[in-house]
Every structure is written in C-alpha cells, then in structure tokens.
Amino acid sequence: MKTFPTAKIRNVALVGHGHAGKTTLAEAMLFAAGALNRMGRVEDGTTVADFDPEETRRSISVSLSIAPFELNGHKVNILDAPGYADFVGDVAAALRAADLAIFVVSAVEGVEVQTEVTWKLAEAHGIPRIVFVNKLDRERASFERTLEALKDRFGAGIAPLELPIGAEADFRGVVDLLTDTAVTYDGTSPTGQEGPIPPEMEAEEHSVHDALVEGIVVADDDLMERYLADEPIDVKELGHALAKGIDEATVFPVLCGSATKLVGVDRLSRFVVEEGPEPHVHGDDGDPAVYVFKTIVDPYVGRVNLFKVLRGVIRTDTMLLNGRTMHEERLHQVTIMRGKEQEPATEVHAGDIAAVAKLGDTTTGDVLATRGTEIEVEPFEAPAPVLSVAIHAKSKGDEDKLATALHRLEDEDPAVRVERNPETHQTLISGMGETHLSIAIERLARKFGVEVETEDVKVPYRETITATSEAEGKIKKQTGGHGQFAIAWLRVEPLERGSGFSFVDKIVGGVIPRNYLPAVEKGVQETTEHGGVFGYPVVDVRVTCFDGKHHPVDSSEMAFKTAAAHGFKEAMAAAGPILLEPVSELVVTVPEANQGDIMGDLNSKRGRIQGSASVGDGEVEIVAQVPTSEILRYAIDLRSITGGRGRFVATHSHYDPVPTHLAEKLTAAAAE
C-alpha cells in the first residue's frame, strides 16, 4: 500500500441531514478520482460506503465508513457519516478523526435539522467547514434559496465560490467565482470543460465575485489594504487567504453540483486537496501515537479498531501502551479500509487513518503511545441515550450468549448502553431513538446469533404507609414431632421520604429470645423487598418489634421469620398504604418558537415546570419535574414537536405519591 506524508493527507467527514446525498457523493468522488470503475447505487447496496444489510434494507447510512482515494499526489480519506439523528454517535466519531467537514446540503430540501445539529457540534470542536449544495439537477432545486438559508443559519462566514449554470433538469455546470470562468459537464464524464461565463450570468457573477473577494480578504490586513486601494489581487493570493480562513474556521466556502450527474464533483475533490487543511497531528516525527475513534466488532475477525496516527509512523508489529488500561498492545495486521475491504499496510504516517484487528482491550476513545510519552486528547464522550427498551433472549439457553453479545455491541457503538435494573429485573438497552435500537437488535441476531424479544420498560414503583398501626404476626402449627410456633407483635410507622427502612428492637423480658430477633428483622426486610400490599418494594417505614411469644421446642428462626412476614403485611394493610412513583428532573432545550408547545405537553404529562431561561442562539431551556412513567418515550414526542431540533436530559429526582385514580389502575394491572 502506498504511503503518504502528513502534508499530502486530507481527512474529510461528509456530514449533513439524511438523504442529502452524502454516500452518493462519496461514491462520485471515488469514481471521479479513478478509484472505481463504475459508481454503485445506494438503492441496491452497491456503494463502497454503505454495505451493512441494515443500510441496504433501509437505504440509509447507519454507521461510519471510510473511503480513501488518491488525487494529484494526495490521499483523501473520506469519512462518510450517517445523517439520521439516531446515529449522531458516529457523526461525533467522524468529526474527531476529520480535519475538515463537508456539509452536504440538498438544494431541494435546503438546510435541515441534522445539518444544524452537526454544525453546532463541528463549531464546538473548531473544525473547518465547507458546504456542498447537492441535487441541483432535481425538480424544485434552488441554489439561491439554499444559499440564503445557509447565511441565515450560519452567518456571514458563508462564502459561495460557485454559481450553478442552468436549473433543475437543465443544470449542467458551475461558474468559478475566483477565476471568472465557467465549467460545464456532458453528463458522462466526471471532468468538466472550462469556457466563458454565459452572457446572461455575467452581471450576477461580477456582483457575487466582488462580495466573495471582500469576504476573503477581510481576514488579511495586507490584502484588505490593497483591496480598498483597488489594487489587483491575483487568484493565487486569494487562494492562500481562503485556505487560511478555512483552516481558522472563519470562512465557510460553498460549492455546488450534483453527485448523481457528476457535476462539480471533480472540483470539490481538487478543492479539498488544494485548499483543505493538513491533518492536525502532534508532530510528523517522534515516538508514534494513535487515537482510536471507532470500533467495529466483526463476528469472525473480532474487534477492529479504526485509528488516526497522531504522531510518528506506525509500522507492522509496533508496540504501544494503552493509556487507559496501561497494557501494551502489538499492532500487527494494520490495514487500510475502503468500505468493508481491507488492504494490508506496512506503515502509516502521522495524520493518516488505518485499522488494526485483535488488540487485547482497546476501544473507542483510547490513546496508544510509546511508553513514557504523553499525548493529550480531548476525552471521548458518547451522547447520552434518550430511549430504552427491555429485552430478553428468545431462547432461554441464550442468556449467557446474550450478555456477551451486548458487551460487544457496546464496544462497537458507545451510544448504546446496557444495564440490568435490579428492581424490575429487566435488561434494558438504551440508544438514540427507535431506529437506533431496532438496528442494534437486528445486529444482535445477524452478527452475534442471538435473537431477542422486547417488552415495555417497567417503572420501578414503590409503596409506603401514611399512618401508624400494629399487628400480631403468628404461626402455630402442630403436625407431630416438632411443630412451628412464633408470635411477633410489630408496629409500623411512616418515615420521611427517602429515609428507607428501619428496624427497631423493643423486646424486653425475653419474650422473644435474642437469637430469634435477627430472623424477625430478616422476615420483615425480605417482605419489604419483595412487595407490600400492592406488590412493589416498601420504603420509608420504621418497623418496631415490641412483644411476642416463643415455645422452647417448636420455635425456630424460620418460624419467627415467617411470623414477622405475616405481621408486617397485616400492619401495612392497616397503615394507609400508598403507591409511590419515580419523578425525573427533565431539562429540555428547544427553539424559542417551540417553548409554549413544550410547556403544554409537559403539563399534560403531569409535569411541574420549575423554570425556563434563554440560553442563546435562539434556544430556551425548560426545567421540569415529570413522573418517569410519562417520559419513557419522550424522545419520540420531543422530536415530533420540534422537528428534531429539541434535546433533553432526564435524571432521577425523587419519589412522589401516585394519584388515586392512577394507583387503582396500576393495582388492577398488577393483579392480572
């Protein structure tokens, strides 16, 4: 495999909303550069970047893939990221490895929600950005409308470098605003032909050209002075200033074209090579270090780690120390990936992207470096999951197999979380949405051979009491030989919310021998855990054992344990038992235009609004306390109300009494 020095490498993430044409654009760039003999199609699963059965079936990208190609002595690593909101974890991974983000925007749909979400993510990390307005050959496509939306959403840094020639079905080329030339395409070749600007576009081109030059030179004092003095500035100087603006993430060039018609694709690739930033590394020379930005779990090969070389050169059998585990790893079987294909690599230079299989315990976010060296990398934080579903193995014999498969699934996708709820005894798998969870479950079956069934997530209700009562717990059985005899008088009293369980020994005079009192406490405590009057765990109760009787022959620990359980249940039933439900604190961030709808929806969910405040960028933050049972599927509701522009964080707050009418329904359901 050919190697490239750092200066000749470009790492580019294709990001944006779903169905904007990112995967098709990646395919077109590979074809235009001569890396493919023909273009594949997303619809039939023949593209380089989309190859998983889940992607083919849905015609959407569901995971990050890499597609490198060579152009003019450079290597371009395309990181094709999903556009669907459920897979934002892989978008974050792509941005961690990329040095430039190309936002692919449909000229038909315009700037959609995931474009905005990903722009904020790239902005937060200071990643250079350019825009490719795609699908200009489609019906209802409009470059002008899309450009205005880009400027409106992302500010004055948006700088169009091209104008389309023709519209919709007649779209056939672009005008280069820097060189004042036109480039047209014949629909069969990916290479455009230069020529004069169409006469009808000359006035518009000159106007936009002047605005573009002004936008470029504003960041360079020397060029700005010359521009104001009406001195000529050649294209090469403008190119250097433009590259500087891109690298500093102050200028965001806009190019345009059609991936399916191969219009403007060759120019986009050349622009990336000529003006795109070099990889951000910690030095070309020195001891090698790598950053793992994505983990793939292959059922045959095992764990495959995708990494970016941060420093030095990685060669076959390089030994590096994992900074998290402090274990050394040998990197044999280093490969370059193109989609699902892998090609062996003897060495990989700083800035390049490669893969390695069969490392011991290395996963996403890990940094591997030579022992004794330190590399600082911003910690990887997977997005917090927003939706959960309970699962169990379809076959009872697959329980152990399921546990292993779920661990591998978490390795591959950090946005998937798995936990066992000790109260409801359910295994919960959590993710970023319905589609995300659906695909995770499909992968369990396809990759790891474990089929699961799903069920609704159970809410961990609890119960307590509102009054004080006393009851006699008694067991008296005589069946010949040793019998069973125990009497324990118990008093139950309510405690403050959150106090838990308390047992008090008030026995005097030896009416219950000291060696039996632990059995009394255990009988009560096990009953609180297994369910009180309504069948849910009992909390916030003080139980006092104040009297009782025993028999020198027929009493036993088991007898007193059983008697205590009976007495506790009887006392509970007479002490005004009530159901408690968990309440979550919900912090919702939405566009200001949605504030009223969100507050109304939260009120309908029995929520109590705690406050709201503007957080800038046209957004408002709403804090509310809402019963957990009402927000199990809040991710779906919020996406529907805000068109995907809202986000939320929910954390457990406290327990509150369940309203009487709902308690009756829950009690009836539990009895069925």
Name the band, by pLDDT with cuts 50, 70 and 90, for residue 61. confident
CATH class of the 387-455 domain in this structure: alpha beta
Architecture of the domain delimited by 6-275: 3-Layer(aba) Sandwich (3.40)
- pLDDT number for residue 1: 61
Does the structure show a pLDDT above 60 at 328? yes
- The pair of structure tokens assigned to 554 is 């027929």
CATH code 3.30.70.240 for 580-671: yes
Tell me the mean pLDDT in the region 562-585.
Answer: 96
In order, the DSSP letters of 569-622 are HHHHHTS--EEEEEEEEEEEEEEGGGHHHHHHHHHHTT-EEEEEEEEETTEEEE
Does the structure show a pLDDT above 90 at 46? no
- pLDDT number for residue 366: 93
Mean pLDDT for the chain overall = 92
Tell me the mean pLDDT in the region 613-640.
Answer: 95
What topology does CATH give the domain 289-369?
Elongation Factor Tu (Ef-tu); domain 3 (2.40.30)
Distances (CA, A) of 152 to 4, 38, 218, 330, 652: 39, 38, 20, 50, 38
- pLDDT number for residue 313: 94
Q: 410 in the Ramachandran plot: left (φ > 0), alpha (ψ -120 to 50) or beta?
A: alpha
Helix (H) or strand (E) holding 58: helix 53-58
- The pair of structure tokens assigned to 496 is 């403050």
- pLDDT number for residue 655: 94
- pLDDT number for residue 268: 98
Name the band, by pLDDT with cuts 50, 70 and 90, for residue 237. confident
Domain boundaries, the chain: 6-275, 289-369, 387-455, 463-576, 580-671
CB of 364 within 8 A of CB of 295? Answer: yes
Fold agreement (387-455, 580-671):
yes
Does the structure show a pLDDT above 70 at 670? no
Tell me the mean pLDDT in the region 111-137.
Answer: 95
DSSP β-bridge partners for residue 224: none
Tell me the mean pLDDT in the region 253-266.
Answer: 96
- The pair of structure tokens assigned to 90 is 């892989």
Going across the sheet that includes 341-344, the strands are 328-331, 318-322, 367-369, 289-298, 302-311, 353-357, 334-338, 341-344
Does the structure show a pLDDT above 70 at 671? no
Do β-strands 173-176 and 181-184 pair in parallel, antiparallel, or remain unpaired? antiparallel
pLDDT tens, residue by residue, 196-211: 999 999 888 888 888 8
Does the structure show a pLDDT above 60 at 511? yes
Does the structure show a pLDDT above 90 at 434? yes
- pLDDT number for residue 669: 66
The proportion of the chain whose per-residue pLDDT surpasses 70, expressed as a percent, equals 99
- pLDDT number for residue 535: 86
Does the structure show a pLDDT above 80 at 285? no
The proportion of the chain whose per-residue pLDDT surpasses 90, expressed as a percent, equals 71
CATH class of the 463-576 domain in this structure: alpha beta
